[in-house]
Structure 1
Amino acid sequence: MSQNMNNFINNKKSIKKFESNYHIEGMNCASCVNHVEKSLRKIPGVLEVSVNLASEKAQIQSEKKISSATIKAAVEKAGYKAIPILEEEQKDSLMPPKQKDGKWLIIFSALLSLPLILPMLLLPFSIDFALPVWTQVILASIIQFFIGRKFYISAWKALWTKSAHMDLLVVLGTSSAYGLSLYQIISHPTDVLNGKIHLYFESSAVIITLVLFGKWLEGRAKRKTTSAIRALQELKPEKARVLSNGTEVEVLLSNLKMNDIVIIKPGERIPVDGEIVEGFSQVDESLITGESLAIDKLTGDNVTGGSLNYNGLIKVKINALGAESTLSRIIRLVEQAQMAKAPIQKLVDKVSAIFIPIVLAIAIITFILWGVLSGDWEKAIINSISVMIIACPCALGLATPTSIMVGTGAAAKHGILIKDAEALEIAHAIKTVAFDKTGTITEGKPHLIRIKSIKMPEEELLAISAALQTGSEHPFAKAVLIAAQEKNIPIPKVTNTQAISGRGISATLNNKQYYLGSERLLNEFAVQIDDEYKNIVKKYADMGQSVSWLFEKKETQSILIGFLTFSDTLKEAAKEAIEHLHSLGIKTVMLTGDHLMSAQVIAKEINMDEVYSNLLPEDKVACINKLKNKLTKVAMVGDGINDAPALAAADIGIAMSSGTDAAMQAAGITLMRGNPILVSAAIEISNKTFRKIQQNLFWAFIYNIIGIPLAALGLLNPMLAGAAMAFSSVCVISNSLLLRNWRPRK
């Protein structure tokens, strides 16, 4: 194994992090997120913290296990409440908690606010109607201090913890309007009763009602952002039918054991990952792989928990349970991606950290300047109230996470698993995509085409080759073993088997040391090849066939015994996948350990731009770095353990789920189907998601850039400011939700 491969695996093993997840109650805006993260980062041992406003969840990674009490104390110190999410509660972990009495409280508040605002609504119709003063006081007080009590509680916590967030602005604004009205009643009772002085109870009441309504709509919209992952979570049946002592017994999934036999009837969800041991059927795996067509499943085939059994009764032997099942791993990947922060979020966090103090400063300046320059201190108060109410940082806090949650969810629905937000953000900037060949562009199921022996009968050469490759997962090894089985050739046992990374394999048989591998391996051992065989091999390579050489290593020299040629089938969508990438302005490159001529045949057929052949794993890494040095973002697509270092070295790695765990671990994106056309689809959903983030941030910033000056100049009524603030977040989330309509192009 190469040094790069060793380093890659050792690094993966050495990194051990403890992860814990918590729901955070009481967050209202991006400033809240900053306060919670800042408090959690102060805990000794904490490595990374990610708090998501959209899901109201915190994900904490630490170098040691941190007690729940410590986490709760840190969050409470910031003015919020933390509730641990246990493993068995993960099903609802991404969903914001349901509001208990939100709807009815809003209706009650609206009914109380209506009489206060009714005179203003009737005025254009020349109906002069005035509500009795003390009726106004009673209605406004109920709204201000009973319905709006949670704003006061939250604002007090903010002051106590020396922080500032949206609720503080709401309390300051509405309390100012309410207080000004009380002041007018006490100082000028006669003028108030005669209607000469206007009261602002309707402003404070309507602002609270609108803010509550906006938050309620925001909560409903946020729950929609998690619809994709909830669809995956709901694929898990609660029970399974197990065959026990010849009888069917229904048991909870938590009580299942490895190797249990589960019976699945037509029309039922398959509850577990396993192998069919009896029966055949068609299975719909669309919600897991994105593949819309039902797949034929026979005895010996694997099935995935969560898929739908169509028309046959099958018996399945369990081979994965709980967190190790495919569906659980998919959900875990999507959760991690939705919790992560995109690099662009760093700008938002910096702005949010200073946003509310700046708004308060602007409100104070507005109050002083209006009072001093105009002498109208009442107008000064109203304008400063408008400034505080219009300046809501909720939209800023929701702009990025909602786009990421919907984008990653839409991608997962179509078989594209995005590991984190960074991968999602980088993918849109990709300008070069490098592909491995076998299993990525081709089916990865090569067939043994011919056996050419020089020193022994062909059957003996095949037997030795099969013996060397027994237990290997390499596609060529499987082809050799299948050919030996079809010819009923006994396979001898070998010893001292050793894989030679990227080049081949060696083993001892009957005290002889045999090697089977690529032309590079042949050259390393200085094996002599007659021109006759070189010409024959060149002819096969020109036809797109791959060659493996068998030779024996002796003390003085290595002797060529013969060679095997293999042919692999292009994936049906390979050419279309390359065309899609070209249409996006993306350059395509092939990186393969195969012979140059056979690689060029494949590349020419699918119109790939460049080919690099005869590559070891470290050579692929060097090629990736060379491409990156051209100041272009590079993606690597692969499926084997030999691709893992290159996947890790690329700006973003894209792994086929049909490949090895090492490849998927190193990749930022995993394709649940081995269809190369999903590569362009992954880049497209990244493009669309990043555009949504940009749009949301634009509208969030422009809203405040325009709204705050208008309010400061006295051109914005406090009630209009409250309405605009209430709906700004809903607009941002609604824009993000448009991503749910995304479909990969056919």
Structure 2
Amino acid sequence: MQKLPSLDLSIDGMTCANCAGRVERALKKVPGVMQASVNLASERVHVQLSAPQPTEALIAAIERAGYGATLTLQADTQVRKSHHDRLSLTLALLLAVPLLVPMLLQAFGVHWMWPAWVELALATPVQFVIGARFYSAAWRALRTLDGNMDLLVVVGTTSAYGLSLYLWLTRAHPPHLYFEASAMVIALVLLGKYLETRARQQTTRALRDLQGLAGDEALREADGQLETVAIKALRLGDILVVKPGARFAADGEIIEGRSHANEALISGESLPVPKQPGDRVTGGALNGEGRLRVKVLALGSETTLARIVRLVEDAQAEKPPIQQLVDRVSRVFVPVVLALALLTLFGWLLAGAAAQVAIINAVSVLVIACPCALGLATPVAIMAGTGAAARHGILIKDSHVLEHARAVDCVVFDKTGTLTLGAPQVVHLEAVGSEDSLVRLAGALQQGSEHPLARAVSSLCQRRGLSVPAVSHSQALAGRGIAGQVESQALALGNRRLLEEHGLAAGRSADAWEADGYSVSWLIETGPQARVLGRLAFGDDLRHGARQAVAQLSSRAIACHLLTGDNAGSAAKVATAAGIDQVHAQVLPEGKAAVINALKREHVVAMVGDGINDAPALASADLGLAMASGTDVAMQTAGITLMRSDPQLVPAALDICRLTYGKIRQNLFWAFFYNLVGIPLAAAGWLSPVLAGCAMALSSVSVVLNALWLNRWQPAHLLPRGKP
């Protein structure tokens, strides 16, 4: 299926979930826009298009909705914005805090007030100069008949400011004025947004670390000379020289030299990986002690690092189903709060309270009910969770994965390349003629194949120094093996199923090998008089951590199954070594999906695989996890990609998904809790506007700080013993 075009835009001026919704609705009205998803935490929108559209049309739609938009927010723009926000906050606090002095003195029995003109002089710049941003944003909301946080702040603080001005001008001896309420609420909102922004930046730390791995320059070898060039100037096939301690500028293949590569930030692998000629290296990884010559194989958006960043960004831009409910609540939230404020106002007036008491209580309702926390609850948790996962080599494809992962109670493992190393060796041979002839013909059939057994045969040919003849009419036999024409002979190499199709006997030795847990392939001369030319037995070792991974899953009450196309003996041997009781052996690729669907009748199923033949099962499962050492098809089908072939990342992936989803639910609880408790208290007159402003700012900051705990997450197998 062809992927629809998409782009990301940076949005300026959003303050709450209602703002995000308004941007989404504005973009969806643009012809050609299929979907628009705003991430309030990162202040970005991901737009999916039915066909390429001019960026100007999208930006114009956002600007008509009252917001600014750019393709990317440049670093210098971000720095200027940060400086401006810090300056505004500092000035607001310097002007507003003195207004609190009389209130603080009252706690010690001292009744003193600033002259009214001093309070007016201090509050006015805060209200109308520093607070101008709230008025402009509120006006944009009113123009579109919508509501947002800024509208609540403007109505609340203007009411307090206007009431104070009225009391001062109409009373010879005015009672307490409320200039401190209007000024402090604006200062507290700015303080909350500033702290929230600072904390929010921490949630994207993992992604920024990844993006920072790509350097600006590389050392290229041309005509025997070395030259320093910009990475953008590199071309496929260029030869790079990577000195000890330098980073690899692009994905490539080592053609000379030996060293180690530190890939910790890319794959989560803490130990340096040995590298030699023929090995692949990843752009952004750190070269160890050796000088290497590397041939460039991937650049730009096709590099491993770029694909990782893109996957994480896509996951952070997606909205889980739970957020859709929050969006619906946010759309009606502001009108409901305005109605509650009016009820509070008239309720107090009908109860016989003074107008100023009724107005101040209504202002408190408006101030405490700002919906910032609702808009931040989900995206900051997703950003922190997916970032922490990426730091440990777990790439979460989209946020829907979080909801599936939390309910998984059955994990199905593929065998070869997943639980085993995927690097089998030929351990037994039996030939009708010479062994070298058997190996040559088997190697000929396997030319060009990336199957682990094919690599084992090719490796044996090299060790024996055998020349491999050409093959013609080569044909893959799904779930059985491969066939072709070699030296005028029609041959096939495959498993017991292929053997039975030709009505041939396995042989006593083959039966014994399978009973010992080895995989067996038969070389068959096909035709009217089919016959067996020889047998090869393959052995593969269990991956380090496989048994520990199964034990961790079992301790979480998650059932483990082994699913393989290999023979029952080989499957049973691996299952026993890994501690798995449920085994499904000799299953064809199309049959794997049927096994998954059968398990889904009673379980929420996760499938772990790495090969093309695992793709149908990965797609059928509720959650697919693909090893990055496997095929691209497997990784594109799966919801989670494990950047290194460590089975212990499977329970780790489920853990971080569950923790992230848990943080989303906690954040939403606290966001609603503040309002459910705060609004009645404010309506009852038990919260002043200043305290309401503090509570409102605290609600936004608290959900961000709660999400930041995910940055401390580590997989269970990396924690010190005894530490939870």
Give the TM-score band, short-chain normalised. over 0.9
1:161 maps onto 2:144 in alignment? yes
- 1-structure distance, mates of 2:19, 2:532: 71
Which amino acid in 2 is paired with 1:399?
A
Counterpart mapping for 1:342-491 below 5 A: 342-454=320-432, 456-491=433-468
Distance 1:97 1:291, change over 3 A: farther
**Deviation readout 1:15-46 (Å, 9 max, x if unpaired):** 33011110111111111111111221222222
User: Among residues 592, 601, 618, which one is paired with 2:573 in the alignment?
Assistant: 601
Is the 1:96–1:222 Cα contact (8 Å) retained in structure 2? no
Residue 557 (structure 1) shift:
4.8
User: Among residues 313, 336, 339, which one is paired with 2:317 in the alignment?
Assistant: 339
1:512 maps onto 2:489 in alignment? yes
**Deviation readout 1:651-703 (Å, 9 max, x if unpaired):** 11101111011111111111111011100110111111111111111111111
Partner of 2:88: 105
1:711 maps onto 2:688 in alignment? no
Distance 1:398 1:652, change over 3 A: same
Is the 1:55–1:96 Cα contact (8 Å) retained in structure 2? no
**Deviation readout 1:39-83 (Å, 9 max, x if unpaired):** 212222222221000000000011101221221222123222221
3-state DSSP of counterpart to 1:43: coil
Partner of 2:166: 183
3-state DSSP of counterpart to 2:246: coil
Q: Which moved more, 1:154-163 or 1:45-54?
A: 45-54
Q: Which moved more, 1:98-107 or 1:681-690?
A: 98-107
Partner of 1:31: 18
Counterpart mapping for 1:262-281 below 5 A: 262-281=240-259
Partner of 2:68: 81
Partner of 2:125: 142
User: Among residues 719, 726, 735, which one is paired with 2:697 in the alignment?
Assistant: 726
Which amino acid in 2 is paired with 1:353?
R
Residue 237 (structure 1) shift:
1.3
Is the 1:503–1:518 Cα contact (8 Å) retained in structure 2? yes
1:528 maps onto 2:504 in alignment? yes
Unpaired runs of 5+ in structure 1? 1-13
Partner of 1:675: 646
3-state DSSP of counterpart to 1:17: coil
- 2-structure distance, mates of 1:280, 1:479: 24
Distance 1:421 1:98, change over 3 A: farther
- 2-structure distance, mates of 1:617, 1:61: 33
Residue 346 (structure 1) shift:
1.3
1:700 maps onto 2:671 in alignment? yes
Which amino acid in 1 is paired with 2:164?
S
Which amino acid in 2 is paired with 1:136?
E
Is the 1:116–1:201 Cα contact (8 Å) retained in structure 2? yes
**Deviation readout 1:481-539 (Å, 9 max, x if unpaired):** 1111211222111111011222211111244321111112222x232216xx1x32221
3-state DSSP of counterpart to 2:561: strand
Distance 1:152 1:255, change over 3 A: same
**Deviation readout 1:94-117 (Å, 9 max, x if unpaired):** x89942411122111111112322
**Deviation readout 1:345-385 (Å, 9 max, x if unpaired):** 11111111111111111111111111112242221111110
Which amino acid in 2 is paired with 1:45?
G
Q: Which moved more, 1:654-663 or 1:417-426?
A: 417-426
Pairwise CA RMSD: 1.6
Partner of 2:284: 306
Is the 1:527–1:559 Cα contact (8 Å) retained in structure 2? no
Unpaired runs of 5+ in structure 2? 718-724
TM, length-normalised to structure 1? 0.94
Partner of 1:644: 615
Q: Which moved more, 1:213-222 or 1:102-111?
A: 102-111
Which amino acid in 2 is paired with 1:619?
G
Residue 92 (structure 1) shift:
10
- 2-structure distance, mates of 1:490, 1:233: 46
Distance 1:546 1:625, change over 3 A: same
User: Among residues 73, 90, 100, which one is paired with 1:117 in the alignment?
Assistant: 100
Distance 1:98 1:419, change over 3 A: farther
**Deviation readout 1:168-222 (Å, 9 max, x if unpaired):** 000000000011111112222x122xxxx11111100110110111111111111
Partner of 1:5: none
Residue 329 (structure 1) shift:
1.0
User: Among residues 475, 481, 501, which one is paired with 1:498 in the alignment?
Assistant: 475
Is the 2:8–2:46 Cα contact (8 Å) retained in structure 1? yes
- 1-structure distance, mates of 2:113, 2:102: 6
Which amino acid in 2 is paired with 1:741?
R
- 2-structure distance, mates of 1:495, 1:365: 85
Distance 1:332 1:129, change over 3 A: same
Is the 1:355–1:393 Cα contact (8 Å) retained in structure 2? yes
Is the 1:448–1:566 Cα contact (8 Å) retained in structure 2? yes
User: Among residues 552, 562, 566, which one is paired with 2:538 in the alignment?
Assistant: 566
**Deviation readout 1:681-729 (Å, 9 max, x if unpaired):** 1011111111111111111111111011111111111100001101211
Is the 1:589–1:609 Cα contact (8 Å) retained in structure 2? yes
Is the 1:587–1:609 Cα contact (8 Å) retained in structure 2? no
- 2-structure distance, mates of 1:488, 1:482: 10
3-state DSSP of counterpart to 2:53: coil
**Deviation readout 1:726-746 (Å, 9 max, x if unpaired):** 121111000100111111122
* Aligned residues with identical type, % of pairs: 49
Is the 1:158–1:164 Cα contact (8 Å) retained in structure 2? yes
**Deviation readout 1:592-646 (Å, 9 max, x if unpaired):** 010011101110121113111111111000011011111x211111111111111
Partner of 2:269: 291
User: Among residues 535, 546, 555, which one is paired with 1:583 in the alignment?
Assistant: 555
Question: Paired residues, what number?
Answer: 717
Distance 1:317 1:279, change over 3 A: same
Is the 1:96–1:219 Cα contact (8 Å) retained in structure 2? no
- 2-structure distance, mates of 1:320, 1:388: 55
1:230 maps onto 2:212 in alignment? no
Residue 586 (structure 1) shift:
0.7
Which amino acid in 2 is paired with 1:277?
I
3-state DSSP of counterpart to 1:477: helix
- 2-structure distance, mates of 1:253, 1:92: 22
Which amino acid in 2 is paired with 1:526?
H
Partner of 1:3: none
- 1-structure distance, mates of 2:621, 2:227: 50
User: Among residues 657, 660, 683, which one is paired with 1:689 in the alignment?
Assistant: 660
Which amino acid in 2 is paired with 1:543?
D
